[in-house]
């Protein structure tokens, strides 16, 4: 008998041959390894009878959305004392302000004074007190833009996207998804003002080069029409809306794990008469334990899409917008208070999803993080652990809205009558690049055939020679 890794007596060993299925691959545990309890074997060397398997289901995450009557709903006041999205020049009071790409600095277009806004993470303590969160803590970023603001939302006639532009700077703009020209006649109600914004630090020249290099590295198998029509003139600066959430989590996962006791070779006689021969098979003795992991988890700066159009497009098969999320994470601890000065020359996606619409997605992500943490706590089980049940309690969460910068290239490709929009995107903070290009399927098939024929020419004679000698 063996001793479970956490103390107590374990069950008798049992053997398993890799070529055959586990003789007792049930959901029950032979020993409660985490508590030290065990099921005694019927006799020495005999397998212990398995316990009755429990329910192997995942319980839903309890995480209701807040409203004005929810006792767990707390408003985090992140107002800066200025107008909504308006940062006046601290020297002359002018409102004509522009962003200097390369940092978070703003410059007054009237007196040329330059200043750096304070990061709101430090100002409002957004990285502190996660372990003390209770209920929902929601920032003031859900307030709507007033009609007097220069930001307007336009509906794209090409793809239906809802695009936010600054009319003080952009009277004629293009949709960042399909590149259709936007009309001021297609104005619709604005979405919500974000709490913060991460300004572009990657200049356009750098982003254009990264996109061109990304495409060039894939030219061999790229569609010929795409190669002729590719131009970096289509690269646009875009801000995408996200909700950043911190979570105070308690998780519990239950399952079973196995630890190898020993490995050995067993002689096995095969065949009959003069054809009989002896081979050796590797066998394993192992002990199976019930495994429980119960722990607290503090999640900081989890990012979730907050645009219904963008979130829906990620799941669609007619575009490759899913590549944008591959640019995560961003350095959101450096975000500054939202200011329209950062929107000059840029567009943004309309934010129209509130906490209640994305709370479920956040719960799923919390659960994935909890699973990964639990897996890292089972190193002693060298044959692995199978989780059969899991519970997640979100004790508290804090939500802040932010705009994240992306340099975006788009190309509409039609193949076989089916349109597909391909994107190449650059993280506007660190330059990380990801994307897709339309491929020439004929070239891929030809390359596969070119590799396959020489391999076949080499291996087929060897195979025939082996058959002849046998």
Contact in structure between 138 and 322 (CB atoms under 8 Å): no
Residue 285 structure tokens: 């003795």
Give the pLDDT score at 191. 54
Please check whether residue 58 is in contact with residue 30, taking contact to mean a CB–CB distance below 8 angstroms. no
**Six-digit token string for 73:** 């709903």
- pLDDT tens digits for the chain (470 residues)? 343 455 433 343 333 333 333 333 333 333 334 333 333 333 333 333 333 333 333 344 444 444 333 444 787 877 665 555 556 788 888 777 888 887 788 888 888 988 888 888 888 888 899 999 999 888 876 444 444 355 666 666 556 566 665 544 544 466 655 555 554 444 434 456 788 899 999 999 999 999 999 999 988 888 888 888 888 888 999 999 899 999 999 999 999 999 999 999 999 988 888 888 889 999 999 999 999 999 999 999 999 988 876 655 444 555 566 788 889 999 999 999 888 788 888 888 877 788 888 889 999 999 999 999 999 999 999 999 999 999 999 999 999 989 999 999 988 887 777 788 888 999 999 999 999 888 876 666 655 555 555 545 555 454 444 444 44
All residues at 6 or more sequence positions from 306 whose CB lies less than 8 Å from its CB, including other chains: 241, 242, 243, 351, 352, 353, 354, 358, 401
Residue keyed to tokens 């806004």: 117
Structure token digits, residue 4:
């479970």
Name 289's Cβ contacts closer than 8 Å, sequence gap at least 6.
4, 5, 10, 29, 30, 31, 32, 33, 34, 256, 257, 258, 259, 381
Query: Could you tell me which residues come within 8 angstroms of residue 259 by beta carbon, excluding any fewer than 6 positions away?
Result: 2, 5, 286, 287, 289, 380, 381, 382, 383
Question: Which of 248, 222, 252, 184 shows the shortest CA–CA distance to 438?
Answer: 222
What CA–CA distance (Å, rounded) separates 195 from 126?
Answer: 12
Buried b (16+ CB within 10 A) or exposed e, 177-212: bbbeebeeeeeeebbbbbbbbbbbbbebeebbebbb
Tokens of 76: 């985090």
Number of other residues whose CB lies within 10 A of the CB of residue 167? 14
Q: H/E element holding 377?
A: none
DSSP symbol at 174: B
Q: Distance between CA atoms of 50 and 47, rounded to whole angstroms?
A: 9
Rounded CA separation 172/319 (Å): 25
Q: Please state, in angstroms and rounded to a whole number, the distance separating the CA atoms of residues 260 and 384.
A: 10
How many other C-beta atoms lie within 10 A of the C-beta of residue 118?
A: 13
């Amino acid at each position: 008998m063996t001793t479970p890794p956490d103390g107590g007596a374990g069950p008798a060993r049992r053997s398993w041959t890799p070529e055959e299925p586990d003789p007792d691959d049930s959901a029950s545990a032979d020993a409660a390894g985490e508590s030290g309890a065990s099921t005694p074997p019927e006799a020495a060397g005999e397998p212990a009878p398995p316990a009755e398997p429990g329910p192997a289901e995942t319980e839903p995450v309890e995480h209701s959305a807040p409203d004005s009557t929810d006792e767990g709903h707390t408003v985090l006041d992140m107002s800066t004392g200025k107008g909504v999205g308006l940062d006046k020049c601290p020297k002359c009071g002018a409102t004509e302000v522009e962003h200097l790409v390369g940092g978070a600095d703003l410059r007054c277009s009237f007196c040329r004074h330059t200043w750096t806004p304070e990061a709101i993470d430090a100002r409002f303590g957004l990285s502190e007190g996660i372990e003390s969160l209770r209920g929902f803590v929601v920032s003031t970023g859900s307030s709507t833009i007033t009609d007097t603001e220069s930001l307007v939302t336009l509906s794209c006639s090409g793809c239906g996207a809802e695009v936010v532009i600054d009319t003080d700077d952009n009277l004629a703009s293009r949709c960042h998804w399909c590149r259709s020209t936007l009309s001021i006649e297609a104005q619709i109600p604005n979405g919500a003002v974000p709490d913060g914004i991460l300004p572009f630090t990657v200049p356009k020249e750098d982003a254009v080069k990264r996109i061109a290099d990304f495409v060039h590295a894939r030219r061999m198998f790229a569609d010929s029409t795409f190669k002729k029509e590719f131009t970096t003139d289509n690269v646009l600066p875009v801000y995408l809306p996200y909700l950043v959430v911190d979570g105070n989590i308690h998780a519990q996962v239950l399952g079973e794990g196995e630890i190898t006791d020993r490995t050995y070779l067993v002689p096995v006689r095969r065949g009959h008469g003069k054809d009989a021969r002896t081979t050796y098979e590797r066998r394993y003795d192992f002990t199976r334990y019930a495994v429980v992991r119960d722990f607290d988890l503090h999640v900081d700066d989890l990012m979730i899409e907050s645009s219904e159009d963008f979130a829906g497009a990620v799941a669609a098969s007619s575009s490759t917008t899913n590549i944008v999320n591959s640019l995560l994470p961003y350095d959101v601890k450096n975000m500054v208070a939202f200011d329209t000065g950062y929107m000059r020359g840029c567009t943004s996606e309309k934010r129209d999803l509130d906490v209640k619409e994305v709370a479920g997605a956040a719960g799923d992500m919390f659960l994935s993080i909890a699973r990964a943490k639990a897996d890292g706590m089972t190193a002693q089980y060298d044959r692995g652990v199978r989780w059969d049940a899991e519970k997640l309690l979100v004790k508290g969460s804090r939500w802040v809205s932010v705009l994240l910068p992306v340099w975006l290239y788009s190309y509409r490709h039609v193949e076989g009558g089916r349109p597909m929009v391909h994107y190449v995107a650059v993280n506007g903070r660190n330059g990380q690049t990801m994307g897709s290009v339309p491929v020439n399927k004929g070239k891929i098939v030809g390359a596969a055939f070119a590799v396959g024929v020489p391999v076949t020419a080499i291996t087929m004679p060897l195979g025939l020679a082996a058959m002849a000698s046998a």
